[in-house]
A = this chain, B = another copy of it.
Amino acid sequence: MPLQERARATKASIVEGAAAVFEEIGYGNASLSSVAERAGVTKGALYFHFKSKEDLALAVIEAQHALATQEGERIAGLGRSALSTIILTCASFGRLLVQEPVVRAGVRLTLEASAFGHSVTAPYEDWIRTMEFLTRQGQSEGEIDEALDTAAFARYLVASFTGVQMVSGVLTHRADVLERIEDMWSILLPAMVPETKLAEFLDLARLGVHEADPAEGRSGHSV
């Protein structure tokens, strides 16, 4: 393997190792040695790439953000209606949580980040803005009730999705997260969509979480 490629592979292993350690024991309890051990690299190799635990945590959050953004873009690229895009994005993020340790670790670190003095409002604010934009578009496409307060709904959707996946993490280590996302839509959709379209979107919420391959369209591993 060429040197540069090997360095990149080492770095990726370290980020994966860090994700595993952070997910299991949280930021405060993690140590650089435990990450080096988990990643199967020497402490020297680790220090070559990351100077501190904080650096490592930020790399994990960045890797999570990259994966989520990539999936978000893939789904936006499907050219579906705005409400379909919202539903498929939630389902897809649920599947990322099940399949990608780096996403689970990133979610945990984002919530714990006050412990290492970082502002972590940006990812939430980004998602809220995106969801608000899509909700307004859904209204103009006639698939979302005009009376819905788009700002309040977007904030609530992001917050409630966060709670759904976290409580699923506590209760079942996220084994049931896809069903819980489906439940979320079965409760939210009746108040949002015209009755004539309800069955169609409930079906999409069901199909969305059970879609076979979430990685479809993603190009390789992003860490």
Minimum CB–CB distance from A171 to chain B (whole Å) comes to: 5
Whether A167 lies near B26 (C-beta < 8 A) is no
Whether B191 lies near A152 (C-beta < 8 A) is no
Whether A152 lies near B183 (C-beta < 8 A) is yes
Q: Which of A90-98, A119-127, A199-207 is the contact stretch?
A: A119-127
CB neighbors of B among A112-171 (8 A): 112, 114-115, 120-121, 124-125, 148-149, 152-153, 155-156, 158-164, 166-168, 170-171
Which B residues lie within 8 Å of A121 (CB)?
Answer: 170-171
Q: Which of A6-14, A27-35, A37-45 is the contact stretch?
A: A27-35
Complex: how many Å from CA A120 to CA B170?
7
Q: How many copies does the complex hold?
A: 2
> Which residue in chain B gives the minimum CB-CB distance to A123?
B170
Pick from B155, B167, B171, B190: contact of A183, CB under 8 Å: B155
Given A26-B112, A166-B166, A159 and B180 contact (CB-CB distance below 8 Å):
yes
11 contacts between A and B (CB under 8 A): A25-B115, A26-B112, A28-B28, A28-B29, A111-B111, A152-B187, A153-B187, A159-B163, A162-B166, A166-B166, A188-B191
